[in-house]
Each structure stands twice: as structure tokens, then as C-alpha cells.
């Protein structure tokens, strides 16, 4: 194992910074990977005539899967049901306009949800199912996103667009400008949190995790330097602008040219990266550049829990401006609207695996132009964000940037450039719902226990809204919240509703809010199930400490019957890297308890999520308890080293022993440390199962006082880089 130059690294909270990937067999780019169920379709290109398309606009929104937005669209490859970890198929319930909470959309979450191609573990991802809400299994209807549906009905909808890699937003935005994510598989993080910039001008201790081509993970500062589409446009003397929120406005982190050093520190940053509010005036005046990228601020991106309606209205405003500008501008413009990643929401199509980074989970894409293949056309051709980059390159005769855009389908099957230009379609922004949701799902709650959920109210009007009576029916109770007697324009508040079931079985109610908005009263359905069976590990669940591969850990769970009659326990089941033994199956008497022993035996490294499932005669069956644990192949001892050495002298070496605790060879790429520390090692590139190697660390202080640093071991384990804390004192 050869040492490489030190990267800027720091210990981060591993729970918030974890990343994971499938250890895939090598595949040809745009070939079919070992888990793929969707073949990547290649189509013949028919490009527009020279000069026919003069403007391409690329709008990227946030965090929605295809089935979540367009699963009900006629002719699309969608679904209205989803598979969960119990093996059941459940209906996708109508999504709130303001989601109940954010969903986990890390690489780890995506790998968990995909479950090797089964697409049935979205409920196990963080926040996919918080105590029975099954937010991951929600879906918009036409009434919820009517203008997006209108674009799909009149132009083109792609139902096989995939995020370019399986990751959170950073790499997706990178792909939109450079046909590469530079191998990044997380978003930037700092130990203290609270980043308001993600790229070259972020905090100096910010780090992002990269998965390199060899299969190792390492941390680095999130400022890269690839060639971008902007460079190609500059070389061809073609115009471009990136319209985004200025610093420190919310959403600035998605300003992708901030990730690129030679753009961020050049005149192009000042001249071509502009405030996103400028786009409407540029479009209305007919001043669109050849290529425009547009992102919204954080309230308009549709990133959960932000309102979908408000975000859709923003998109309509941008597109209307293009269509209401000079007619020759509309006649020569193509607009792509897509969402950067799936946001944790269910999708039933397994992404094709083209390399170790992607594809990610399917997202919607609308293609709006005067030249649709046909009105309301649904293209089933496989696209990714590099497909848009390739379309731009081919329209303007630019060179390809990477193998990704070179091999991507270029979207031209979605056009008929031989027809006369189709007329613009002006849409009206709509009135957004005051109440965030039509339903609050409580899941199952033990009889006489309480659970509180909140409905968000938003005043979308231009004047203060009065809030009057709030009433609740059934086994539900108004439990306060943040709403007073008035709500200012543009403000939100929460109405808390408690559910305290008096009996077992499904129980419904209604929340009614009287206010001065013309849509009053606002009504929200309340649904929950009373149960007598108490399983005390619902969400966030039962957590196992980090476990070495090849070993296991156990914990006990007590299952209790709180009712006055016996409950029949039919089966106890587990999902994921977990097994169980119990004395529960059979009759569980009134007031009685039984014990379940849960065993965590990880099959690969990283965080491993699972489920404990109880099938029984209670109306709340099946009862689910969430399981989570971390696993690693790498044992390093010790985890800290301390030195005390005279200034100018080199200490005696101290050793760190690295052991591969798995039953397979482990790829070790490098060990790195910053001066005044140094390291040498005898570690091979492939450390065989059960074998050890040694890293020797020395300290050469240049001044008196204490110095802290970190030794990093970069490898293919999903908790890489492994960290050894170093402290040295110069005497």
C-alpha cells in the first residue's frame, strides 16, 4: 500500500457522514449491470437543423422520485403501490403538499431501499417510515401537481431518467454542468454542521467523501477542477449563464460552478453566474444565452418538507417567461426540467448499474419545446443528466467531456424537428392549499397511549389570515401547536393533533380549521389503529454498536400484551442482516410479555438496516420494529497515538495494526498523514481475509506545544477512511 499526498481531512460524526456503495462487478458503461432489471436502451439520433435550436434551458429541482410525482400518469411506467420489507404490497397514499418531514436521500439510503434490485426496503431507510407514517410511500395526483401534468400532456415526459449516480444532491448538480460527479458520494460536511456553501468557498474544514475508480473511499475538500460545459461554450464563443441563489441565500449550495476551481476564481464567476431572479427578465426581453442553468432558492426547490405547489409555481413562472418573450426565442428553445435525486421516495424500477457510482434512483424529467415528438409523448428511453449535456454538445457542435456524455442517449428521440413550431402553453400559477395535507397517518398506537402529529398551515395570500375554531372528532384531540388567532402573509404554523385510542382497531377522525381564507374550512382526515400489542422498538428502533464482519451481536426485545384478552402470535420475522429467536409464538395472555432475542450478523460493511415484524391476531398486525447497526471489515489497534519528542528530533515509531476481519480480500489503497507526522507501512494492496499489516507513525516537531492530526486509512470498507487520532507534543 503506497502513501499518497495528504488530503484535507478531519474526523466527522460518522452517523451523519456515512456513505455506502454496492461492491459491483465491473460492467461496461451503459451496459447492463449484475442487478439491473431495466436495459439501457440506445436510440438513433436525429438532431435539429443548424441554428434551429439556439437556446437550451436546464432547470433542476430537488428530491422527488418518478413514481412519487408521475406514477399515475397514463402511458408512463408507473405504479400506485409499493413493496415494503414485510413482503407486503401497500398503496401509495396521497402525498402532502408540505411533507411531514425530510426523507433520507444518502447513498446508504438508496442502497438500502434498492435491496439488491428488489426495490422493497424504502421503509427501512432513515425517515422512510417514522412510526407508521410510510412517508416514502406517498404519491402526488394530477390535482396536486396540475401544471407539471399539463406540461407532460402537451409536451414530453421521460419515465426512464435516472440520477447520474446514487448519491445526494452535490454530484447530481455537478453532472449537470460537467457530465461527472468527480466520484463524490456524499454532500460536504463539517464537524459543527451548518454549511451554507458547498464548493470552493465553503468552510476550510469541510470534507466530502469520494469513491475512486479503484473502489476506495477517501475524504477531500469539495473544490475540484474538471472541464465543464461552460468551458466548451467559452471555447466556441457561445454564451451561457448559471442562474442561482446568491450567497448566503438558501439553495446556494447547489450552485454547481462553485464546485469548479477555475470557474469560481475567474471572471466567469462574476459575469456568468448570476442571481436567479434575473432569469425572468432575461427571458422576457429575449436575452437568453445559448445555455442556461437555473436553480431555485431552498423554499422553491420542492426539497421536502418545502411545499410542492410553491415550487411548481416558481417553475411555471420561469417557463412562462420564456414563452412570453419574443416568438423567435420560444421557437428556438428547448427546456429540460428534472429533479436532482429521489428524495427517499419509492420507485419501483431498479436503476441500471453502469459503473460503481450509478445510476441512481429514477427521477421525473419534462422536455418542453416547440418540437415534441408528439403531444403528450412519454419516452421510455434511458436518460441521465449527462444526456442533457450531450444534447447541448451535439446541438452546438461541442466536444464530449467524459465517457458518460459520450455514451449517453442524447434525448433526440423526444423531438420531431421536422414539424412547424408548436405554440407556447401559458399556464397560471395556482392557489396553494392552506392545509399542508389531506391526511395524517398515525399508524398503530397502544390503547390509552398518545401520539401527536402536526398539520402545517400556510398563508399563501397577500394579507393576514385569521384563524378561528379548530375542531377534532373521534379519538383525537387538538393538542396545541404554534398557530395563534392570526397568520401573517407568507407564514406557516402547526396544528398539533393527539391520537389516544380507546379501543383496538382502525379509528378515524377529522381535523377542521376555520379561517378567513376563501377555501375555509380546511379539513384533514385522521387515521390510526388502536392496538394492545406493545413493541417498544418502533422508530428510530433498536441500535447495535459497530460489529466486525464475521461476528455478531445480540439484544433482547420484550413484546407485551397490554389488553384483557389473549393475543395469538403467529410468526416473528426479520428483514435485513438480522435473525431472531423467541418464546412468543402461540397465545400471549392478557397482561403477559415474551422475549425476542435479535441477532445482528452483518453480511457487508456500512450501516445495515432491518426490521423485526410480528404477525398476530391484533388489529394492528403486522407490528414493525426497526433495526440498525454498523459493520466493518477493518480492525485497527490502537485508535489513538500520543508522542512527546524534543523539537527537531524524530520520535521512535509507534505502530497501528490493521486486521481484515472479513472472509474476503480487502482493497487497501493508501495511508495518509500530515506533517509533522509521518508514516510507513507494510500493507499490501489486497489484504487477505484474517490477515494483518502494520503502519508505523513517527512525529518530528518543529516547535514546542501540542499538535493534533489524523492518520487516514483509505480502503474499500464502507466506513473508510479509517481514522487514528494523533497527538504530539514538542518539548
Q: Which pLDDT value is given to residue 35?
A: 31
Q: What φ, ψ does residue 518 adopt, rounded to 5°?
A: -60, -20
To the nearest 10 degrees (0 to 180), the angle between helices 146-154 and 308-324 is 40
Please give the average per-residue pLDDT across 122-145, as a whole number: 95
18 pLDDT above the threshold of 70: no
Instruction: For domain 533-631, give the CATH superfamily.
Output: Immunoglobulins (2.60.40.10)
Share of the chain above pLDDT 70, in %: 94
Architecture of the domain spanning 634-730: Sandwich (2.60)
Nearest partner of 208 among 5, 8, 6, 4, judged by Cα: 8
Strands 291-294 and 240-244: parallel
Q: What is the mean pLDDT of the chain?
A: 92
Please give the average per-residue pLDDT across 52-68, as a whole number: 98
Q: State which fold the 51-414 domain adopts.
A: Alkaline Phosphatase, subunit A (3.40.720)
- The owner of cell 464482519 is 549
Higher per-residue confidence, 214 vs 193: 214
195 pLDDT above the threshold of 90: no
Q: Which pLDDT value is given to residue 310?
A: 96
5 pLDDT above the threshold of 70: no
Nearest partner of 632 among 657, 658, 612, 654, judged by Cα: 658
Please give the average per-residue pLDDT across 350-365, as a whole number: 96
Record the cell numbers describing residue 536, joined without a space. 417498544
Q: Which pLDDT value is given to residue 1?
A: 54
Question: How many Cα atoms occupy the beta-carbon half-sphere of 204 within 13 Å?
Answer: 0
Record the cell numbers describing residue 634, joined without a space. 477493518
Q: Which pLDDT value is given to residue 14?
A: 30
> What stretches of 136-276 adopt beta strand conformation (E)?
138-139, 156-162, 208-211, 217-220, 240-244, 273-275
> Alpha helix (H) ranges present in 530-648?
none
Please give the average per-residue pLDDT across 565-570, as a whole number: 97
Torsion region of 110: left, alpha or beta (phi above 0 gives left; psi -120 to 50 gives alpha): alpha
Rg over alpha carbons for the chain, rounded to the nearest Å, is: 27
Please give the average per-residue pLDDT across 189-202, as a whole number: 87
Q: Which pLDDT value is given to residue 45?
A: 55
Instruction: Sort 479 into a burial class: Cβ within 10 Å, 0-12 / 13-18 / 19+.
Output: middle
Cα–Cα distances (Å) from 347 to 83, 101, 121, 696, in that order, read: 10, 19, 11, 48
Cα(6)–Cα(675) distance, integer angstroms:
9
674 pLDDT above the threshold of 60: yes
Instruction: Please report the sign of the dihedral spanned by the C-alpha atoms of residue 86, residue 89, residue 90, residue 95.
Output: positive
Q: Which pLDDT value is given to residue 38?
A: 37
Answer whether 252's CB lies under 8 Å from 246's CB: yes
32 pLDDT above the threshold of 60: no
252 pLDDT above the threshold of 60: yes
Cα(682)–Cα(677) distance, integer angstroms:
17
Give the chain's largest Cα–Cα span. Answer: 82
Q: Which pLDDT value is given to residue 40?
A: 43
Residue 553 CB coordination number (10 Å)? 16
11 pLDDT above the threshold of 50: no
Record the cell numbers describing residue 193, joined without a space. 454542521
Q: What angle do CA 244, 226, 224 make, to 5 degrees?
A: 70
Specify the pTM: 0.91
Please give the average per-residue pLDDT across 699-710, as a whole number: 96
Cα–Cα distances (Å) from 483 to 434, 437, 467, 469, 509, in that order, read: 13, 16, 8, 11, 20
Q: Which pLDDT value is given to residue 19?
A: 34
Record the cell numbers describing residue 68, joined without a space. 412519487
The helix or strand, by DSSP H or E, that contains position 681, with its residue range, turns out to be strand 677-681
pLDDT tens sequence across 371-427: 999 999 999 999 999 999 999 999 999 999 999 999 999 999 999 999 999 999 999
Q: Which pLDDT value is given to residue 20?
A: 33
- 3-state secondary structure at position 599: strand
pLDDT tens sequence across 506-553: 999 999 999 999 999 999 999 999 999 999 999 999 999 999 998 999
> Alpha helix (H) ranges present in 91-157?
107-114, 146-154
29 pLDDT above the threshold of 80: no
Residue 238 CB coordination number (10 Å)? 17
Amino acid at each position: 500500500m503506497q502513501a499518497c499526498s495528504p488530503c484535507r481531512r478531519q474526523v466527522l460524526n460518522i452517523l451523519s457522514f456515512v456513505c455506502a456503495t454496492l461492491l459491483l462487478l465491473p460492467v461496461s458503461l451503459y451496459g447492463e449491470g449484475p442487478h439491473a432489471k431495466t436495459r439501457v436502451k440506445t436510440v438513433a439520433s436525429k438532431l435539429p437543423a443548424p441554428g434551429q435550436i439556439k437556446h437550451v434551458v436546464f432547470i433542476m429541482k430537488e428530491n422527488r422520485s418518478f413514481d412519487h410525482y408521475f406514477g399515475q400518469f397514463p402511458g408512463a411506467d408507473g405504479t400506485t403501490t409499493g413493496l415494503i420489507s414485510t413482503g407486503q404490497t401497500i398503496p401509495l397514499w396521497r402525498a402532502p403538499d408540505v411533507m411531514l418531514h425530510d426523507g433520507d436521500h444518502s447513498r446508504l439510503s438508496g442502497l438500502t431501499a434498492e435491496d439488491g434490485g428488489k426495490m422493497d426496503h424504502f421503509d427501512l431507510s432513515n425517515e422512510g417510515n417514522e412510526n407508521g407514517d410510510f412517508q416514502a410511500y406517498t404519491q402526488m395526483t394530477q390535482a396536486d401537481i396540475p401544471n407539471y401534468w399539463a406540461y407532460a400532456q402537451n409536451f414530453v415526459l421521460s419515465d426512464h431518467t435516472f440520477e447520474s449516480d446514487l448519491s445526494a444532491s452535490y454530484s447530481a448538480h455537478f453532472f449537470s454542468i460537467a457530465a461527472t460527479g468527480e466520484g463524490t458520494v456524499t454532500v460536504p460536511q463539517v464537524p459543527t454542521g451548518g454549511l451554507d456553501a458547498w464548493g470552493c468557498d465553503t468552510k476550510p474544514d469541510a470534507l466530502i467523501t469520494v469513491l475512486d475508480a479503484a473502489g476506495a473511499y477517501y475524504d477531500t475538500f469539495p473544490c475540484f477542477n474538471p472541464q465543464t460545459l461552460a468551458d466548451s461554450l467559452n471555447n466556441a464563443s457561445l454564451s451561457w449563464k448559471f442562474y442561482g441563489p446568491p450567497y448566503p441565500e438558501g439553495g446556494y449550495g447547489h450552485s454547481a460552478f462553485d464546485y469548479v476551481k477555475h470557474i469560481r476564481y475567474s471572471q466567469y464567476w462574476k459575469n456568468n453566474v448570476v442571481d436567479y431572479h434575473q432569469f425572468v427578465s432575461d427571458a422576457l426581453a429575449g436575452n437568453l444565452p445559448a445555455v442556461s442553468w437555473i436553480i431555485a432558492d431552498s423554499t422553491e426547490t420542492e426539497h421536502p418538507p418545502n411545499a410542492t405547489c410553491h415550487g411548481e409555481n416558481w417553475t411555471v413562472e420561469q417557463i412562462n417567461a420564456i414563452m412570453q418573450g419574443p416568438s423567435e426565442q420560444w421557437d428556438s428553445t428547448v427546456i429540460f426540467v428534472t429533479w436532482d435525486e429521489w428524495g427517499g421516495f419509492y420507485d419501483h424500477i431498479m436503476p441500471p448499474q453502469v459503473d460503481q457510482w450509478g445510476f441512481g434512483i429514477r427521477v421525473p424529467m419534462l422536455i418542453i419545446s416547440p418540437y415534441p415528438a408528439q403531444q403528450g409523448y412519454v419516452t421510455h428511453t434511458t436518460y441521465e443528466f449527462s444526456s442533457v449535456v450531450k444534447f447541448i454538445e451535439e446541438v452546438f457542435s461541442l466536444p464530449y467531456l467524459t465517457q458518460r456524455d459520450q455514451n449517453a442517449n442524447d434525448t433526440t428521440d423526444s423531438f420531431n424537428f421536422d414539424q412547424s413550431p408548436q405554440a407556447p402553453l401559458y399556464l397560471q400559477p395556482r392557489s396553494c392549499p392552506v392545509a399542508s395535507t389531506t391526511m395524517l397517518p398515525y399508524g398503530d398506537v397502544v390503547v390509552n397511549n398518545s401520539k401527536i402529529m402536526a398539520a402545517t398551515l400556510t398563508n399563501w395570500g397577500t394579507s393576514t389570515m385569521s384563524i378561528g375554531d379548530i375542531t377534532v372528532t373521534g379519538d383525537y384531540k387538538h393538542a396545541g401547536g404554534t398557530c395563534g388567532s392570526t397568520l401573517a402573509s407568507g407564514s406557516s404554523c402547526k396544528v398539533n393533533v393527539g391520537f389516544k385510542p380507546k379501543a383496538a382497531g382502525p379509528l378515524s377522525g377529522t381535523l377542521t380549521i376555520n379561517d378567513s381564507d376563501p377555501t375555509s374550512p380546511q379539513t384533514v382526515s385522521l387515521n390510526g389503529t388502536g392496538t394492545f400489542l406493545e413493541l417498544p422498538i418502533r422508530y428510530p428502533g433498536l441500535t447495535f454498536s459497530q460489529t466486525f464482519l464475521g461476528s455478531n451481536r445480540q439484544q433482547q426485545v420484550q413484546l407485551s400484551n397490554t389488553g384483557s384478552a389473549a393475543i395469538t402470535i403467529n410468526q416473528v420475522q426479520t428483514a435485513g442482516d438480522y435473525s431472531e429467536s423467541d418464546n412468543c409464538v402461540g397465545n400471549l395472555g392478557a397482561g403477559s410479555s415474551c422475549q425476542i432475542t435479535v441477532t445482528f450478523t452483518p453480511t457487508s460493511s456500512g450501516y445495515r438496516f432491518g426490521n423485526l415484524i410480528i404477525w398476530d391476531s391484533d388489529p394492528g398486525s403486522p407490528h414493525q420494529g426497526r433495526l440498525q447497526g454498523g459493520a466493518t471489515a477493518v480492525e485497527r489497534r490502537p485508535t489513538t497515538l500520543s508522542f512527546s519528542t524534543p523539537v527537531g528530533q524524530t520520535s521512535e515509531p509507534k505502530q497501528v495494526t490493521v486486521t481484515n476481519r472479513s472472509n474476503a480480500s480487502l482493497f487497501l489503497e493508501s495511508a495518509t498523514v500530515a506533517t509533522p507526522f509521518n508514516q510507513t507501512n507494510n500493507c499490501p494492496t489486497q489484504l487477505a481475509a484474517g490477515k494483518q499489516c502494520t503502519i508505523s507513525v513517527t512525529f518530528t516537531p518543529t516547535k514546542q506545544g501540542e499538535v493534533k492530526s489524523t492518520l487516514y486509512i483509505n480502503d474499500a470498507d464502507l466506513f473508510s477512511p479509517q481514522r487514528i487520532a494523533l497527538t504530539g507534543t514538542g518539548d
